[in-house]
Amino acid sequence: MPKKFYITTPIYYTNQAPHIGTAYTTVAADVLARYHRKLGEDVFFLTGTDEHGENIAQAAEKAGKSPQEFVDEIAKKFKVAWTKLNIQYDDFIRTTDEKHKKGVEKFLLKLKESGKIYQDDYKALYCSGCEDFIFKKDLVNGKCPHHKKEPELVSEKNFFFKLSDFLPQVKELIEKDKIIIEPKERKKEVLSLLKQDLGNLSISRQKVKWGIDLPFDKKQKTYVWVEALQNYITAIGYEDNTNKFKKLWPADLHLIAKDIVKFHAIFWPALLLATGLKLPKKIFVHGFFTVNGQKMSKTLGNVIDPIYLADKYGTDALRYFLLREISFGQDGDFSIKRFEERYNSDLANGLGNLVSRVLTLSEKIKPAKSSSQGELTEKIKSTQEKYQKAMEQIKLHEALESIWQLISACDEYIEKNKPWELAKTDENKFKQVLSELLITLKEITGLLEPFMPETSEKILKQIKQNKKTEAMFPRL
Ligand SMILES: [Zn+2]
């Protein structure tokens, strides 16, 4: 039986349409899913939308819609965007789905059975932007640093999960890499978070109206974060304990952004331990990016629409740029200027030009069948090794870098051998040079496929037809 690979993105919050940040995570997950499919693994790739909570209810009201209408529209926008970006997910979970609600109910009842739930009055500062309680020490000038607004003092009856009972075990699991957290600096960050007093976790909200009923007290709604995390199990049949669930769980990889590490690396494992479920194997945390050096925000008006970029520059160009420009796992900056520079240098002059040169030459004379060993053979082998290592380590930028080194090697090979002269003087040598270039180009398309599936297919088709049929990446 092939190895299974269950990969997830976070479910995206439906208070706004998809932007370049959510596109970034999703494209990365898609690349990894495609890569593992190519390895012959049984891949399940899950993404979706997080649709409950006070923020959504408020946004819906502002838009003059019911919360359900509102989230239906936003969820649709996400699906349209992912189609545009050529995202091949296996399921798109919505937290308003019936299977999710039923799964959450089952999970919460299990949690109650575990004896780790208690009721208490809760008084704390609450940021409606974060939909989370916030500690005084985390405020900046009395305001939430993320939302720049003052939190409100909330007092209500809540149900709590005895998080603290599980923290020593979670800490040990992370220390021993039973749950792998990458990059390493994020693991460190989680371990230092675990040294602080995290308190217990409130799992319900009395005031919130748009959410999933708490099964053991219908006057309360489940805290949106607690139910959102369960999407990773409800999507794959947790409710009925289906064969699918038994086969796929635990997740092999949760891909997340750095602002939600605490929820995924601490709360989620603790909740799973309490309910006797297996733990995710790996959590990979990528960085944030700024836009032209500034934080992306609605108020600054610099939120970038990925559909606009894909329409203007092409889906594959966007997929390439997102994963090439920023070291995956680190913070970075997005700018149209850099995008256009990379487009011209890497895609138009690099890949596009190589394809065009090789195919123009090969139209002249039918190349010889593959020669076994050539000057580029070693280079192909070392590229494959670098590429595989980078993909396994989720260093997606390095994987792309290795492909472009091979492209450069081809360019040098062409300059050195001057096949356009050989065509006139030495037909045999010409055929041999060309055949080696075609072999290498084919190899390049294989390595590129997870990142730029359409481009890879187009190049392969032209190689098969031995004909340059379309211009690729015309210069901007
Ligand atoms: Zn906040």
376: CA distance to ligand 1 center in Å? 54
- Residue 466: is its pLDDT beyond 80? yes
19: CA distance to ligand 1 center in Å? 19
User: Mean pLDDT for the chain?
Assistant: 94
Regarding predicted confidence, which is higher, 33 or 17?
33
- Residue 86: is its pLDDT beyond 70? yes
**pLDDT category of residue 171 using cuts at 50, 70 and 90:** very high
pLDDT in tens, 87-121: 999 999 999 999 999 999 999 999 999 999 999 98
151: CA distance to ligand 1 center in Å? 8
62: CA distance to ligand 1 center in Å? 19
176: CA distance to ligand 1 center in Å? 32
List the one residue out of 178, 180, 171, 331 whose CA is nearest residue 257: 331
355: CA distance to ligand 1 center in Å? 49
pLDDT of residue 118: 97
Give the count of beta carbons closer than 10 Å to the beta carbon of residue 80: 13
d(CA 100, CA 120): 27
pLDDT of residue 297: 75
203: CA distance to ligand 1 center in Å? 18
150: CA distance to ligand 1 center in Å? 8
341: CA distance to ligand 1 center in Å? 36
289: CA distance to ligand 1 center in Å? 19
pLDDT of residue 256: 97
CA dihedral 93, 99, 105, 109 (to 10 degrees): -100
pLDDT of residue 369: 66
131: CA distance to ligand 1 center in Å? 7
**pLDDT category of residue 375 using cuts at 50, 70 and 90:** confident
pLDDT in tens, 10-31: 999 998 899 999 999 999 999 9
- Residue 395: is its pLDDT beyond 90? yes
270: CA distance to ligand 1 center in Å? 24
142: CA distance to ligand 1 center in Å? 11
**pLDDT category of residue 370 using cuts at 50, 70 and 90:** low
pLDDT of residue 27: 98
pTM of the model: 0.93
- Residue 385: is its pLDDT beyond 90? yes
Q: What percent of the chain has pLDDT over 70?
A: 98
164: CA distance to ligand 1 center in Å? 24
130: CA distance to ligand 1 center in Å? 4
d(CA 368, CA 81): 44
pLDDT of residue 329: 92
139: CA distance to ligand 1 center in Å? 9
pLDDT of residue 371: 59
- Residue 68: is its pLDDT beyond 90? yes
153: CA distance to ligand 1 center in Å? 13
Give the count of beta carbons closer than 10 Å to the beta carbon of residue 188: 11
Residue 275 in tokens: 């309910």
145: CA distance to ligand 1 center in Å? 7
**pLDDT category of residue 277 using cuts at 50, 70 and 90:** very high
**What average pLDDT does range 281-289 have in this prediction?**
95
**pLDDT category of residue 56 using cuts at 50, 70 and 90:** very high
15: CA distance to ligand 1 center in Å? 14
Residue 182 in tokens: 């990458």
3-state secondary structure of 262: helix
**How far are the Cα atoms of 22, 120, 233, 311 from residue 222, in angstroms, in the given order?**
25, 15, 16, 40
Regarding predicted confidence, which is higher, 426 or 298?
426
**What average pLDDT does range 186-214 have in this prediction?**
93
**What average pLDDT does range 355-370 have in this prediction?**
80
Residue 165 in tokens: 């009972």
pLDDT in tens, 226-247: 999 999 999 999 999 899 999 9
Give the count of beta carbons closer than 10 Å to the beta carbon of residue 366: 11
- Residue 374: is its pLDDT beyond 70? yes
pLDDT in tens, 145-162: 888 999 999 888 899 999
